[in-house]
Amino acid sequence: MPHPVPPLQFRMIEIEGISKHFGPFRAVDGISLSVARGEVLGFLGPNGAGKSTTMKMITGFLAPSAGRISVCGFDVAQQPLEAQKRIGYLPEGAPAYHDMTPAQFLSFIAEVRGIDGEARERQIANAVKRTELASVLEQPIETLSKGFKRRVGLAQAILHDPPVLIMDEPTDGLDPNQKHTVRQLIREMASAKAIIVSTHILEEVEAMCTRAVIIDKGHLVADGPVVGRDVQFTVTRGGTQEAITAEAGRLDAVFRSLTTDEAAS
C-alpha cells in the first residue's frame, strides 16, 4: 500500500526529484517527497546517506543540482526569503554565536526575523520556556553544556512559531531526560506544523514520528506511516515496490537490511 497522498493544501513541503552532486559524488540522487501539516517525518539513514544535504537544500543553504523544492507554496530557489521566513531550522551540531548569551542570541534572531516590541518579548519568553533555558540565559553560549547548546539551537528554530520545522539530529548529545523533553516538545508542536527530524536513534521514530523514510546512498528506499508502534514501510528497490512492516523493536533489523547487503534477521 503506497502512503496516502495528503490533500494539496496541507502539503507544506514539496520535494520533486532533487539531486545534489559534489563533483562526481551524488550525495542526493532523485528524492521526491511531500510533508503535510500535522506530520512528523523521521529521516533515517546511515551517515553520509544524504539526510543533512537534503535538509540543507530545503532550507536554502545549498542549491539542488536538479529538481525543485517548495515550502508553503514558495519555491526555495525562486523566493528563498519567503520560504525561509516559514522555516525553523536546527542545523547539524546546533551552531550558535558562542560569544553571545542565549538572551542576546535569541534577541538577534528575533530582530533579524522582524519580530518587534511586545511580540519579541513574548515569543522569546515562550521559546525559552519550551526549551527550559531560563537558568542559563545570561551565560555565554560557549560556556554551556552540549545539552544546553542544543536547546539554544532549538529555541532559535521555534522562536517565530514557523509552520515548517527542519531539525537535524535534535536529540544528539542529550541525556535521556533531555531527549524525553525534546521528543515531547516535538509531539506537542506536531499538530500545527510540518516537521522533519533526522535521527540515528530508531526508537525515537515510534516515540515522536507519524511517518518515517529511510534514505540510503542518496535514494529514498522506504517510506511509511507509523501506526501504533509499527512502521508500515513501502520499500522501493530496483523499480519494484513491496510492503514491509517494521514491528515494534524490529526497526533496526529492517533498517540494516535496507541499508546494507545483510539480510534481515
Partner 1 sequence: MRETMAIAKRELLGYFATPLAYVFIVIFLFTMGVFTFYIGNFYQNERAELTAFFGFHPWLYLFLIPAISMRLWAEERKAGTLELLLTLPIPLYAAVLGKFLAAWAFAGLALILTFPIWITVNYLGDPDNGVIFASYIGSFLMAGAFLAIGSCVSAMTSSQVIAFVVSVVVCFLFTVAGTPIVIDVVSTIFPLAIVNAISSFSFLTHFASITAGVIDLRDLIYFLSLIALFLFATAVLIDLRKAG
Q: Which residues bind partner 1 (CB under 8 A)?
A: 20-22, 56, 59-63, 65, 80-82, 84-85, 87, 89, 91-93, 95-100, 104, 108-109, 111-114, 140, 156
Rounded least distance, CB 46 to partner 1, Å: 20
Q: Which is nearer to partner 1, 99 or 121 (CB)?
A: 99
Rounded least distance, CB 241 to partner 1, Å: 31
Rounded least distance, CB 138 to partner 1, Å: 13
DSSP state of 73: T
Can you say how many angstroms the Cα of residue 120 is from the centroid of all Cα atoms in its chain? 25
Q: Nearest to residue 30, comparing CAs of 41, 44, 42, 16?
A: 16
Q: Nearest to residue 155, comparing CAs of 58, 144, 79, 36?
A: 144
Instruction: Give the residue ranges of DSSP H helices in the chain.
Output: 51-58, 80-85, 102-112, 117-131, 146-158, 176-189, 203-208, 251-259
Rounded least distance, CB 97 to partner 1, Å: 6
Q: Which is nearer to partner 1, 63 or 192 (CB)?
A: 63
Q: Which is nearer to partner 1, 100 or 189 (CB)?
A: 100
Q: Which is nearer to partner 1, 100 or 244 (CB)?
A: 100
- First-to-last alpha carbon distance for the chain, in angstroms, is 23
Q: Which is nearer to partner 1, 160 or 183 (CB)?
A: 160
DSSP state of 79: -
Rounded least distance, CB 79 to partner 1, Å: 10
